[in-house]
Amino acid sequence: MSESLKLQKEQQQRDLETRYESSYHQGSLSSVSRQSYAAYVSSSSHGHKISKKEKKLSTLSKKEKCSYLAVDKEDEIIGYVVPVFRSSHLATQDLMETQEEVKEEGMGYVVMRNLFSRETDFKMRTVKKSRETSLRESAERLALSRKMHEKEEFQKKMNPDSLTHPPEFILKPRGQTVWEGKSVTLHCTVAGWPKPRVAWYKNNVLIDAKSHPEKYFTESQYNMHSLEIKKCNFSDTAEYRISALNVKGESSAFAPVIIKNGFSPEYGVTFNTTIIDKFDVSFGREGETMSLGCTVIVYPTVKRYQPEIVWYRNGVALTPSKWVHMHWSGEQAILTLVHLNKEDEGLYTLRVNTKSGFDTHSAYVFVRDADVEEEGVPVAPLDVRCHDANKDYVVVTWKQPAVEGSSSIIGYLIDRLEVGTHHWTQCNDTPVKYARFPVTGLIEGRSYTFRVRALNNSGVSRPSRASDPVVAMDPSDRAPGPSAPWTGMIKFTEEDPTVGVVPGPSTDLAVTEATKSYVVLSWKPPIQRGHEGVMYYVEKCLVGTDTWQRVNTGMPVKSPRFALFDLAEGKSYSFRVRSCNSAGVGEPSEETGATTVGDRLDLPSVPGPVIPIRNTDTSVVVCWGASKEVKNLVGYYIEVSVSGSGVWVPCNNKPVKGTRFVCHGLNTMDKCVFRVKAVNAAGYSGSSAESEACIVQASIAVPSPPTGVTLQERVRDYMVLGWQAPAKAGGADIKGYYLDYRTVKDGVTSKWHEINLQAVTGTSYKVTDLKENVFYQFQVHAVNRAGISESSIPTIPLECKEWTVALPGPPHGLRVQEVRKDSMVLLWEPPTFNGRSAVTGYYVDYKEENGRWRCVQERSTRNTYMKVINKLTGVSYRLRIHAKNLAGVGGPSKATDAILAETRPGTNEIVVDVDDDGVISLIFECSDLKENSQFVWSKNYEAFTDTSRLTIQTAAGRSRAIFNDPSLEDLGTYSCFVTNTDGVSASYTLTEQGELLYVNCEQFSAVIPFKSEMAIELQEKGRVRFWAEVAKFTSNCQVEYVFNDNIIHEGKKYTMNFNKTTGIIEMFMDLLEVTDEGTFTFNLFDGKATGRTSLVLIGEEFAELQKKSEFERAEWVRRQGPHFVKYLSFEVTPECDVHLKCKVGNIKPGTEIAWFKDGIEIEEDDEDCLCLTVPTIPQQISKKDAGVYEVKLKDERGKDKTLLNLTDAGRTVLNEVFRVIANSSTELKVMSTEHGIILYSFVVHYIEDLRVGWLHKESKISHSDRVQCGVTGEQLWLKINEPTEKDKGKYAIDIFDGKGSFKRVLDLSGQGKNRARVVGGLPDVVTIQEGKSLNLTGNVWGDPVPEVGWVKNDKPLLSDAHHTLKFEHGKFASITIAAVTTVDSGKYALLVKNKYGTEAAEFTVSVYIPEDEPLTSIVFFLILSMPVATVDCLVTNSVRAMRRPVPATLVLVPPSRNANAPHPIVCMDWCRIWLSTFFKINFFLAHRRKKTHRGMEQLEN
């Protein structure tokens, strides 16, 4: 027993060491992990003695056990060990679990071996059992087996590893539809172990509820999760997803949320998308900018819903970039291609995605090569790309250009540019022929872009567009793919560097590319390489020798790719690679097989036959056979040449891979041949054989389906159907129509059956042999030479029964001709069913695209045509017809398609021609003539019945209708329609009056009418223009110029011109001389038609014209040099400054500009100044500045001058100053004072000559002691002392404005008693000791209650901690100053204001210091008792005394005495007293007198 346990223990230890020290983990063991392992082995030697029943369950979780490896026998933590390497940690955990399993298996094996090794004799016996016993034992075995299975399943569930399971949604969130502005909550329940983490997504975008708490709120409790979306709007319509994740996997559930608005919810709406204004096939040139755009209409319009706009190029979705800009305005989708390059050529598709589907539009964009800098050089290559980028290596590929130049391309030069620099470096010294090149020598971690240039015998092409940047780095170090979700566990790892490990041999060495220029090797890094970076040496060996030569001796490469250059062409080589690091160079890899230097890729074979097929007027479809022998085909280039020219031009500048291509941009009716060549990385194939010549013109196609199938008549056994011809005839005449029918019974339809075996040529058909009271549906096919069109839209079920209505049926066969911007002609066929009486007329209705139907005419017309005048240009219209009989107006016809009211480019009209023999004809030309097109002439829109009246001649797109015998019978409307075109037609009306032709039965004569008779016009330089405008003429019309019955010709004196496009005849004369007086005539000759117009210039009329001509010529000569555009004038500015100004032209830096006054030049500091400012005082203007001002310009080209006489214009200047002053006056305002009221207005400036008057009740106010007026500065005022009731009324100030009076009015009716006033309560002067509190209250009156404010020294006071301001009961305004200081001394005022006036109650506050109180108070109050004049003397003498060196005696001189007889009043120490009372006197003077400037100036001095 002990021996078996010993063997078991040894085997167990070997197994553990083998597993733990595996090759995979051997390099990652650390000292910490080894110590953990040793501790585990030592502890396990005692662990096997503990029986399985006595084994305790650990209180630690499995995760904690993974972190805490050092535990004691009672599973208590005794040390914290961080796993050094994640794989080592997992291996240790796995070994610990395996150890327990090994112990259990070993003990079971020993027990079984001992059991079977006992030396006991066994005897065999046979026991017979009954059937009942066998069944019972079988049942017991089954029950026991079931219990064992249940126990096993229970044990599996109890196993912690078996308890874990991936997330599972017990209750999934449900989709909801709510109204806009409401909130919605999504709920779900998730099960899983470990507990899964959940995240909410909106359209696969993670919702961050914490960043947007105002919008989202998430909650998770007891495996129940919810998402609340608050105040939903339309943008919240989306598919919401909840993702649950744990270590066992991930699960998701989806719920759509639809937000409905008030009128059109997105959910349940089918969006119809229409793309209009589509971009067409476009052509650009390299370097240009091109924009492609379409207008997208999505119906119905849903608020804030926008479709998805996606642009594609050759089926690949485009994204915004440096070269591609996208814009969506809500209606228009625009794609802008910046700086076109040949890479931009291709098929562009606009896809509009909505919830209901998508709509697309595609068109091809061609990009032509830019002009080459040197003739004969190739054009630039294209589509430069980078592949297989590694640490110091990248493969650059490109596509060959379509044009090689004057000679074949020798090779290509590759340039590289390090991102962030501006210097291009050439990568190869020798041009490479192959369109693929490996670039080596890159610096790891840096980004590069590449470009390619082509080279031939004539030179080097322009560089291609640079490739996208590529980073030189190991592919394994690039940005990884999607990472595993975070599980909440952070594990620390650390690599133990293995020093001294020499790398093993590389594997999978192979030759990936082999050309004449280079060979590319690739391999995989060695398995044994440690954790240090590995580099490589490449060795080559010539086949047949044993000498290996190292290729990159100087520097090993970092990438497992390498390109070898300079190998001998045609020789075979073997290659091998050695890995190296700091420990040394490893063993070589297995060598490659023999590789022969040469191109592995052959040139493509010549493409098959080329077949051109007509497509449109400017394009041809080219098909060809694919190259049979070609590898890695890049595409095909198609070339075109006009037959016989020998000049080949590429149709595409970017290779196409198909065998069919539409060549656009060809000239109509050119006879072209085509050829194709294939291209791959090795180069071009030979050109295919030339195709057969193909004329560029529109191909014949099947017509479009007919439209507007309507019922025109029905009886018991037949129906009459009508329809409209196809909108597109397919380039050939419509040969007829085929009709189908089917029956409809209870909504079930039968199969379609043919009605007519022979094509119907008209647009109506009578369907017979029908059954009465049976419902039928009909459809129509059109047929031309190309085949049968698609069927029209089936009609609604129509019942076959007698039509008993009295009204006529609808007209049919509506067609529109002669579409112009202002008119169009509608033609129709009469209705098949006339009703009870014949049709007597027709009404035409029209409507705009989304408008309502309106009738064109007030009275019906009997004709089956009408010219409809368009209301608006560029608007689409629809038309329909009503027939009328005696019973009334019938139902409308089928409306036409929308017709755009515009005149298409190239539209021609019918013109009248009269030849030399007097033959009159109508001519119509068509430039859009198709094969089998015909000119169809008609009169009054009906086919000609009398062909003897006209002869039709047609040749090369021109048709002429010749009148055989013109007479009054030929008057009418002649129209011409060209078949197989897009509605090319025109008409001309011949009437008896007002036309070119005046037809007489006996003789013929034609007069050329003039739209404008000869007139004269005076032009620049005094040039005279004689002109006239001809109304109607032919291209053969000639003009004869006559002066005084003498024919004159063009020469030095006369210049003549006849513009036959506009019909204007001109004759120019540079100068009128005395000999030019007379009669000028224009004689016109157009076949036998003549015209004449004359102009007589004689007498005073000629003299005046000659004078004007000479003046204009002199003015033109003056303007050739420096001149005055505007002559000298004056201007009064709003500030009442007078400016003299003039405007000059055609000056240059050398032009002399001088100002003069009375002939004396004015010197100015600024030589470029062209403006003189004159002072605004009138006396100075009239006296000093009066005079003649002059400005002169002069240089080598000429001179000019201008004058202004201010002596004569002085009064004008003064009146303009008065106007500015009067208009600057402000509105009259009123201010209350203690003595009365003051009316005042401010002006910008005042001068004494300005007349100002005051009016009261429209009467002038006279000056008195009580009523005074005056001016203070810029204030005009009127003072009324002690106003009475008589002073009420309107007051006005009358200011002279240079021409009349300018008034400002103010109404003072009823304002006196209600104006705001301070009625008492405030003293004039307050003297208070420093530190005391001052409280004053003023009584206020006014209706309405006035606004109250306090000011100190003219600055507003605000209530604060020091100043308390109150206004109580609308009557009492108080101010409280707490703890006054000397700073509070000053002038205060209580301001009251309402709409009737303002008033200020002023008072003075004086704060004194206690020690200065007796003396300063006596002096101060002594001064207060003095008159103002006495105080004035006091100030004067005080200032004089202060200038003396010793104290002086204060002397007061009363104003009534002589100042020289001093009268002493007080004698005291002046200096001490004056210093303490200085500011008090200052405030007092300010209060008692308004004008204290003289005294204050003395005090300041």
CB 454 within 8 A of CB 460: yes
Does residue 57 have a pLDDT over 50?
no
pLDDT of residue 999: 40
pLDDT at 1209: 62
Cα 309 to Cα 334: distance, rounded to the nearest angstrom: 10
Summarize the confidence of residues 1343-1360 as an average pLDDT. Answer: 87
Q: How far apart are the first and last CA of the chain?
A: 131
Is the pLDDT at 68 greater than 90? The verdict is no
CA pair distance 230, 228, nearest whole angstrom: 6
Q: What is the SS3 assignment for 89?
A: helix
Q: What letter does residue 987 receive in the DSSP assignment?
A: E
Cα three-residue angle 1417-1423-1426, rounded to 5 degrees:
145
* Rounded Cα gap, residues 1222 and 1214, in angstroms: 12
| pLDDT of the residue at 527 | 82
pLDDT at residue 292 greater than cutoff 50: yes
Distance CA 553, CA 22 (A): 37
What's CA 831's distance to the chain center, in Å? 54
Which of 295-304, 495-504, 644-653 is predicted least confidently?
Answer: 495-504
Encode pLDDT of 881-926 as tens digits. Answer: 999 998 889 889 888 888 888 888 888 898 888 776 777 889 999 8
Taking residue 841's Cβ as centre, other Cβ atoms within 10 Å add up to 15
**Residue 110 and residue 38 in contact, taking contact as beta carbons nearer than 8 Å:** no
pLDDT classification of 534: cutoffs 50, 70, 90: confident
pLDDT per position as a tens digit, 1023-1074 = 899 999 998 888 888 899 999 888 898 888 899 999 988 899 999 988 888 8
Q: Which residue has the higher pLDDT, 1129 or 69?
A: 1129
Rounded to an integer, what distance in angstroms lies between the CA atom of residue 31 and that of residue 1095? 122
Higher-confidence residue: 679 or 234?
679
195-199, 937-941, 1015-1019, 1452-1456: the lowest-pLDDT one = 1452-1456
pLDDT of residue 448: 94
Q: Mean pLDDT for the chain?
A: 79
C-alpha dihedral sign at 1311, 1313, 1314, 1319: positive
**Model pLDDT, residue 42:** 44
Indicate if the pLDDT at residue 322 is higher than 80.
yes
**Predicted pLDDT of residue 743:** 94
Q: Are 1338 and 1318 within 8 A, CB to CB?
A: yes
Residue 233, pLDDT > 50, answer yes
pLDDT average, residue stretch 1375-1381: 90
pLDDT at 147: 87
Nearest to 1133 by CA among 1178, 1164, 1181, 1174: 1174
Read off the tokens for 868.
Answer: 């409809």
Range ranked top by mean pLDDT from 161-170, 579-588, 777-786, 1341-1350: 777-786
- CA–CA separation, 1241 and 1277 (whole Å): 7
Peptide bond into 1344 cis (omega under 30): yes
Query: Which of these ranges, 16-20, 562-566, 618-622, has the smallest mean pLDDT?
Result: 16-20
Residue corresponding to tokens 């709409």: 1395
Sign of the C-alpha dihedral computed for residues 480, 484, 488 and 493 taken in this order: negative
The C-alpha atoms of residue 160 and residue 197 are separated, in whole angstroms, by 20
Side-chain half-sphere CA neighbours of 37 within 13 A: 21
pLDDT above 90 as % of the chain: 23
Q: Does the pLDDT value for residue 327 go beyond 90?
A: yes
Of 1196 and 100, more confident? 1196
pLDDT attached to residue 6:
57
Residue tagged 């070994």 (tokens) = 95
Question: Is the predicted pLDDT of residue 202 greater than 90, yes or no?
Answer: yes
Q: What does the pLDDT read at residue 1203?
A: 83
Global pTM? 0.43
Give me the mean pLDDT over the 512-541 stretch: 84
Question: What pLDDT is stored for residue 413 in this prediction?
Answer: 94
The whole-number average pLDDT for the span 271-289 is: 91
Radius of gyration, alpha carbons of the chain: 55
**Which of 312-326, 435-449, 585-599, 1422-1436 comes out lowest in average pLDDT?**
1422-1436
Say how many CA atoms lie within 13 Å of 918 toward its Cβ: 13
What pLDDT is attached to residue 1362? 86
CA dihedral 200, 206, 209, 210 (to 10 degrees): 130
Interacting residues of 1155 by C-beta distance below 8 A, sequence separation 6+: 1161, 1162, 1164, 1172, 1189, 1190, 1191
Average pLDDT on 684-709 reads 89
Q: Which two tokens stand for residue 985?
A: 């037609």
Q: Is the pLDDT of residue 13 over 80?
A: no
**953-999 pLDDT tens trace:** 888 788 999 888 787 788 888 999 988 788 889 999 887 543 444 44
Helix (H) or strand (E) holding 7: helix 2-20
Give percent above pLDDT 70 in the chain: 79
DSSP structure class, residue 1218: H
Three-state DSSP state, 1372: strand
Bridge partner residues of 240 (DSSP): 202, 255
Higher pLDDT pick, 862 / 514: 862
Question: What is the structure's pLDDT at 1170?
Answer: 40
Give the whole-angstrom CA distance, residue 1404 versus residue 775.
112
Q: What are 565-572's contacts with CB under 8 Å, separation 24+?
A: 565/517, 565/518, 567/518, 567/519, 567/540, 567/597, 568/597, 569/516, 569/597, 569/598, 570/596, 570/597, 570/598, 571/542, 571/543, 571/596, 571/597, 572/542, 572/543, 572/596, 572/597
Structure tokens at 114: 């001992």
747: helix, strand or coil? coil
